[in-house]
Structure 1
Amino acid sequence: MTSFSVLRRSRLPLCVAVLLASSLTPAAAAPADDIAELKAAVEALRADQARAQARIAELEGALAKQRETPVAVAAAPAPAPNAIVTTAAPVGSEPSRLSLSGDVRVRYESNFGVAGARDRDRGVLRARLRAAYSVNDWLTVGGQLATGDPDDPNSTDMTLSNFNDDLQVSLDQAYIRLTPGDLQVHLGKIPQPFMRTELVWDGDVSPQGASAAYTADLGGVKVKASGLYFMVDESVAGPDSRMIGGQLSVQTPAAPIQAEFAVGYYDYSLRSVAGGDAGDFRSNLFAGGRYLSDFNLLDVIAALTWNGLGEKWPVRIVGDYVHNYGAATDADTGFGVDLLVGRASKPGDWRFTYGYAEAETDAVLAAFSQDNTNIGTNYMQHTLAIDFVPQHNLVLNATYYHYRQKDGVIGPVDWQNRLRLNFLVNF
């Protein structure tokens, strides 16, 4: 029983006394002393009622004030300066400005099938850690740490060898990203800005310089214009080596068939090669400390994706054609075709891939093209791959390369074989 009920019920004796007093007739009147005593009791009850009403008013006022006053919540302590907050942000709070991601891949590789050459097996490791911090809505700073030889621009792999020496880790990317509206600008050692295949651009190449990309949505058709100023090798005493390139790409809506098309042109001026080594020059024509060809590459990519078998089994075909208009040889053209069935993004997914590619000696700049085999250019190559996703962020892959030199100018002309078994964890 609440205090309000008790106080209100105190009115009952007063009402009873008033009724009794009013019901007395002169014929049945009590003696004068009894009447005086009864009046005193009535006055006492009235005083009690006044006090009760005052108390009720006081409590009701306090309750109304309590309803109007918001409940105070203790603020969480601020993190220490430069601390990285790893816990999830409370509901309703500002999302974290720092994002972290990365991957670790462990590989077994077997090389076999060349007559008179020793078969070779090896273990390979790759690890990458990416971070980006949003300073505000249009400015982000980011970077990537990666294993691999810092002097090899198109590979972050490390052979597990060298008497158990420690692995090399380097700063593979460090950039500022500006995003005013639909324009995206990168400055520094930056991510690759172009639609690509590994015929021209290996996935591990991070250019250094500046890039800009503008994307527009024209009624569901996405149009993207990208440009790159690539400082390849800066020279103190002489001319620099650099590349200026651009690409225009178009992508249609996804259903039922998505089409993608991109055309790019990359104009290299390779006057300084002081920062390069034999691994950069590879199979391009090179003599007297310089490239024999210029590299002015027209790169055309077309892709079709059919989703008629459901979202788990897209069928995609990709074609890439490249021609070097600056080559000092007729060996100036390359192409590649890949057929992919399935996806590899969610648990239970399977993807099957077959690809064929040819690249003539100076069709591409070998320093930045694929390094899936030990032949950078002048090759013919078949590729078979199977990907399986058993759990979220885990990919199992088997890839088989069957390849040889196209013209047999240098080294063995036999078909060679490379089998890779990859265990990839993303986070």
Structure 2
Amino acid sequence: MRRALSVVCLLACAASAAAQTVYQKPQTSSFHVDGLSRQEWTDEITFVAKSRRVFRLRPRAEVSLKWLELGLGGDFIYSSDHNTDPPPGSTTLPLLRDNYKSRDARLDLAWGKLSPIHFMSVQGGRFIMPIHFTEMIWDRDLRPQGGSATLDFGAIGPLRRLAVTGVYARGSHILPAEGAFKFKGRDTAWMGSATATLGAGRQDQIELLGTYVRFTDLGFVDPRLRRQNTRVAGALALPYEVVDLVARYRSEGRTSMQLVADYCWNRAVSENNRGLWLAVVLGSTVTARGSLEYTYAKVDKDATLAAYATDDFLWQTGWAGHRADLGVRMSDRASSHVVGQLQRFKDSPNPADRDRYFKRLRLEVRISY
């Protein structure tokens, strides 16, 4: 993996040296706020409140200075529960199912990005994940902490876009809680990705994404985040070298539509190592009056590192289930959503629990300014 990332960096340097002109953007600045209000009901299950309300606010400021971009953002959460408190009768919390603390104020984003020529960019700090994963691999609320490099070649032959990206991230979860930019004694992720976009008619396109992810330094993963991965004496027992393949089909006809298929496997192990994620999205709460989204997923317990997968489904790995999301546009900046989920712990150590389905219902208002 280090060798692959080195190749990306060498290509970037060579392209920069060969460039005759420096790519410069106009100077701009912007301020954005994303907000969420959520009421959630979940079937009774250990370590999760049956009913809880969550408020989340994420302000961020961005500045673009010719070939340099800077960004800074915060994350403020208040929830009716205390998700990091040990359950009654216990002194420690054995499992954290959420990828956030229920009452928290922290640094969310702090990054700098250089784009010396139009097809090359490098960034460092805490930034939005530049690889277009589904939630099966990476929770959209988590930020890589480290650096990335991207070569975007634009249109080449029949391709509308071809790009390669390398990411190095260390200590990218909210736990342990020593604070942002603590790299010593933290888990590490190496990622290499290639994206190709093809036309499928005047308004349709297909995006193909292939990524290799290698998680290392697993002994530093917080015990509360080891979740459903195989453990021995409480420690993660297996390596995670994940190949992830994603295909997306987008249609912008009378009713916009997106189809998503994601398949992954952990090539470092031979069993319980596959994951499948399928989704369809009709409409949009941004460009239309509403949207309807359906997701089906089936993820083996060691298909990927559970610490970084989505926290929507009670379990991060070892589960199968469904999610439906009905969204209604309230204004140009706000939408309301009804989200229903049905999921089971298919790889439960207790065989009696493997076919038991749990229900979760969410009412949400999302804003973006």
Give yes or no for TM over 0.5.
Answer: yes
Q: What is the 5 A alignment of 1:4-403? A: 97-112=28-43, 120-134=50-64, 136-148=65-77, 155-156=99-100, 158=102, 167-181=103-117, 182-217=119-154, 218=156, 221-232=160-171, 241-253=187-199, 255-273=202-220, 276-278=222-224, 280-288=225-233, 290-308=235-253, 310=254, 313-327=255-269, 330-346=271-287, 348-403=288-343
Q: Is the 8 A contact 2:54 2:77 kept in 1?
A: no
Q: In 1, distance between residues paired with 2:48 and 2:74?
A: 35
One-letter identity of the residue aligned with 2:216: S
One-letter identity of the residue aligned with 1:216: F
Shift of 1:195: 1.2
Q: Which has the higher contact order (CA 8 A, sep 6+)?
A: 2
Q: Is the 8 A contact 2:26 2:66 kept in 1?
A: no
Q: Is the 8 A contact 2:72 2:111 kept in 1?
A: yes
One-letter identity of the residue aligned with 1:402: L
One-letter identity of the residue aligned with 1:131: A
Q: In 2, distance between residues paired with 1:100 and 1:256?
A: 31
Q: Is the 8 A contact 1:383 1:401 kept in 2?
A: yes
Measured at CA, do residues 157 and 401 of structure 1 come closer, stay the same or move farther in structure 2, by a change above 3 Å? Answer: farther
Shift of 1:119: 8.2
Count of residue pairs the alignment pairs up: 315
Q: Is the 8 A contact 2:219 2:236 kept in 1?
A: no
Shift of 1:412: 3.9
Q: In 2, distance between residues paired with 1:390 and 1:315?
A: 20
Q: In 2, distance between residues paired with 1:168 and 1:215?
A: 37
Give deviations 1:355-402, integer Å, cap 9, x for gaps. Answer: 100111110111100100221110001011111112110111111110
Give deviations 1:8-64, integer Å, cap 9, x for gaps. Answer: xxxxxxxxxxxxxxxxxxxxxxxxxxxxxxxxxxxxxxxxxxxxxxxxxxxxxxxxx
Give deviations 1:142-177, integer Å, cap 9, x for gaps. Answer: 12100249998973473xxxxxxxx42100111111
Q: Is the 8 A contact 2:97 2:315 kept in 1?
A: no
SS in 1 for 2:308: coil
1:407 has 2:347 as partner: yes
One-letter identity of the residue aligned with 1:421: L
SS in 2 for 1:331: coil
Q: In 1, distance between residues paired with 2:365 and 2:268?
A: 41
One-letter identity of the residue aligned with 1:176: G
Q: In 2, distance between residues paired with 1:250 and 1:138?
A: 25
Larger helix percent: 1
Q: State which drifts further: 401-410 or 187-196.
A: 401-410
One-letter identity of the residue aligned with 1:123: R
Q: In 2, distance between residues paired with 1:145 and 1:248?
A: 30
SS in 2 for 1:250: strand
Matching residue of 1:46: none
Shift of 1:252: 2.0
TM-score normalised by length of structure 1: 0.68
Shift of 1:243: 1.9
Unaligned 5+ segments in structure 2 are 1-24, 85-95, 173-181
Q: In 2, distance between residues paired with 1:119 and 1:231?
A: 31
Task: Tell which structure's C-alpha radius of gyration is larger.
Answer: 1
Shift of 1:259: 0.7
One-letter identity of the residue aligned with 1:370: T
Measured at CA, do residues 377 and 386 of structure 1 come closer, stay the same or move farther in structure 2, by a change above 3 Å? Answer: same
Measured at CA, do residues 324 and 96 of structure 1 come closer, stay the same or move farther in structure 2, by a change above 3 Å? Answer: same
Measured at CA, do residues 186 and 421 of structure 1 come closer, stay the same or move farther in structure 2, by a change above 3 Å? Answer: same
SS in 1 for 2:150: strand
One-letter identity of the residue aligned with 2:328: F
Unaligned 5+ segments in structure 1 are 1-93, 159-166
One-letter identity of the residue aligned with 1:179: S
Give deviations 1:59-108, integer Å, cap 9, x for gaps. Answer: xxxxxxxxxxxxxxxxxxxxxxxxxxxxxxxxxxx987331101111011
Q: In 2, distance between residues paired with 1:292 and 1:156?
A: 25
Measured at CA, do residues 176 and 307 of structure 1 come closer, stay the same or move farther in structure 2, by a change above 3 Å? Answer: closer
Q: Is the 8 A contact 1:133 1:142 kept in 2?
A: yes
Shift of 1:293: 0.7
SS in 2 for 1:185: strand
Q: In 2, distance between residues paired with 1:271 and 1:107?
A: 33
Shift of 1:262: 0.5
Matching residue of 1:64: none
Q: Is the 8 A contact 1:153 1:204 kept in 2?
A: no
Q: Is the 8 A contact 2:58 2:76 kept in 1?
A: yes
